[in-house]
Chains A and B, each alone.
Chain A
C-alpha cells in the first residue's frame, strides 16, 4: 500500500495492514519465474515449429508466416480454454501462459463462455473484451503516438 493512502488510515487500520501484509504468503518468485520461462519458452517453440511448417509446406515467407501461426495458436488456446485444460496450465505457469498470444485468446474465450448465461448479445458480445480490451486500447493508442512521432520526424527530413 502506498504511503499516501496509509496516512489516511486510523492507527488501528494501520496496525491491521501491517498484520495482514506480514501474514500474506510470500510469493516464490524464483520458482514462478522458472515455470514461466519453461512454459513460455515451450509455447514460443511450438510457434517456431508452426512458422517452419507454414514456410516449408505453404507459400509463406518469414514475415507472412506470423499471421497463420498466431491464428493456429489462438485456435488451440480457445479449444483448450473451452475444454477446461487451459486454466489448469495457467495456474501452474503464471506469466508463461499469460504473456504469449495464447493468453490473449484465453481471456477472450473464457469471458465469452462465462457470460453466455446473460445472453448472446449483451452477455457474450458485451463481455468478450472485458479483460482483453485494455491490451487493445493501450496497444493502439501507444502505437498511434509512436507512429505519428516517427512519420513527423521522417517528414521533417530526419532519420
Chain B
C-alpha cells in the first residue's frame, strides 16, 4: 500500500519538474519530454533510475523519463549477452511493448475516430 503513496508523490514530482521546464524556461512540451528522456537515459546509465523504480514503482516507470532508462537497460542487458553489437539489437527490447502498442492503437484510432473541432 505504501508503494501507491510513493508512486503518487514521485510521479507527481516528475510532472512538476516537467511543468517547471515548460513554464520557467518556456520550453515546448516536445523539448520538455526530450529533456526528460535524455536525463532518464543518463540516470539509467549511472544505475540510479532503477533504484528510483524499486522505490516508487509506477511513479518512476510511467513518466516518459523511464523510456530513456529502459532504452539503456535493454541495450546493456543485450550487450552483456552478445557483446557490443547487443547495444544495437537490444535498445528497443524493453520499450517494444510501449512503442508497438502506441503505433497499433494509434492506427486503429485513426480508422475509427474522426478529428474533432
Interface set of A (CB-CB < 8 Å, partner B) = 27, 29, 32-33, 36-52, 62, 66-71, 73-75, 78-79, 81-84, 94-96, 98-105, 108-109, 111-117, 120, 124, 128, 131-132, 134-136, 138-140, 142-144, 146-151, 155
The number of residues on chain B lying at the interface, defined by a beta carbon within 8 Å of a beta carbon of chain A, is 72
For B48, what are the chain A residues with a Cβ–Cβ distance below 8 Å? none
Task: Considering the complex, give the chain B residue whose CB is closest to the CB of A139.
Answer: B37
Interface of A is mostly: helix
Which residue in chain B gives the minimum CB-CB distance to A45?
Answer: B8
* B16 & A95 in contact (Cβ 8 Å cutoff): yes
When chains A and B are docked, how far (Å) is the Cα of A94 from the Cα of B91?
A: 30
- Interface members, chain B 93-116 (any A CB < 8 Å): 94, 96-99, 101-103, 105-110, 112-116
Could you count the A-B residue pairs with CB atoms below 8 Å apart for me: how many are there? 260
Proximity bits, B61-75, A CB within 8 Å = 1, else 0: 111111110111001
Partner pick for A67 among B87, B97, B105, CB 8 A cutoff = B97
| Interface presence of B79 (CB below 8 A) | yes
- 26 A-B contacts (beta carbon < 8 Å): A29-B24, A33-B23, A36-B16, A37-B13, A40-B63, A41-B9, A47-B7, A48-B3, A50-B58, A66-B70, A70-B62, A74-B101, A75-B105, A82-B109, A95-B15, A99-B15, A99-B32, A99-B65, A102-B62, A109-B110, A113-B109, A113-B114, A128-B110, A131-B30, A138-B38, A144-B75
Which residues of the other chain, B, contact A27 by a CB distance below 8 angstroms?
23
Judging by beta carbons under 8 Å apart, are A78 and B32 in contact? no
Tell whether, in the assembled complex, residue B64 and residue A101 are in contact, meaning their CB atoms are under 8 Å apart.
Answer: yes
Interface centre among B23, B84, B112 (most CB of A within 10 A): B23
Contact indicator B67/A41 (Cβ below 8 Å): no
